Structure 1
């Protein structure tokens, strides 16, 4: 199976000036573990994950003051939509992360997470009981 078939195409996009609380609230409302951050004043696309929020909270930072721009990853590893799920999973393991932004021709198509991969693999391997 290919990344394009397993990814979430409904991507949460936040700006660099959203507070951590705002970003976390949107992530919780949509039940997603990441948000793509687009900063019109810089090049590239960043990603903020639930781990970034957790690290900020654990460090005692004020989530109503801290901005997403200070707590995200700009050196994002991108997946191609035609990658296999095995390629995506191996990239996640090598990099130690759980989300990949899926790009095609510089455009964000979606995000694939460990959860997406596990969901697909589990459904492919589900054995139905025999009568």
Structure 2
């Protein structure tokens, strides 16, 4: 499974000049524990965590005019959309990070948090099958295809070998967290 399958996107970002108080409001309202910091070109330049912000707000001599630039961690660990989830988890555990921005070239396209990784671990086959079936039903109408699953391996029945929707059906199933493999069958 790759980062693009579990990342939150679009992601809320801040600039270097964003005041710490505004960063705190964004974190509190978004539910994220980290905010990527971008420059004028929307390129990733750092990351601000809730811990960074709390340390600043509860400093011995807190200042009202502190910005993200003064509290951010830089350089920041970032990965690409095709990064394997196990590599993301290893990086988070090694570094103590709570979230890793996902970039394309230098632009932030998403973020993977510890919560995203936990959701994968808690997806059992029944829930995975339910979510795959739901996505297929939304796409093509109720119960056009049948979904079976065993150990994260999804089998979708009801597609002819030359069905032009095979690629779409496969892609929809592959985006469900916990799906390890997708097989398509005619019946």
User: TM-score normalised to the size of structure 1?
Assistant: 0.84
Aligned counterparts of 1:118 and 1:28: Cα–Cα separation in 2: 20
User: What is the aligned partner in structure 2 of residue 4 from structure 1?
Assistant: 4
In 1, the alpha carbon distance for the partners of 2:4 and 2:44 equals: 21
Hey, what does 1:96 align to over in structure 2? 96
Residue 96 of structure 1 and its aligned partner are, at CA, apart by: 1.8
Gaps in structure 1 of 5+ consecutive residues: none
The higher-RCO structure (CA 8 Å, 6+ apart) is 1
Matches within 5 A, 1:49-128: 49-62=49-62, 64-124=64-124
Contact 1:15 1:38 in 2 (8 A): yes
Instruction: Give unmatched runs, 5+ long, in structure 2.
Output: 128-187
Provide the alpha-carbon RMSD of the alignment. Answer: 2.2
Count of matched residue positions in the alignment of Structure 1 and Structure 2 = 126
**2:63 & 2:11 partners in 1: Cα distance?**
22
Q: Does 1:32 align with 2:32?
A: yes
Q: Indicate the structure (1 or 2) with the bigger Cα radius of gyration.
A: 2
Alpha-carbon distance between aligned partners in 1 of 2:17 and 2:79, rounded to the nearest angstrom: 26
TM-fit CA distance, 1:61: 4.6
Q: Could you tell me the TM-score, scaled by structure 2's length?
A: 0.61
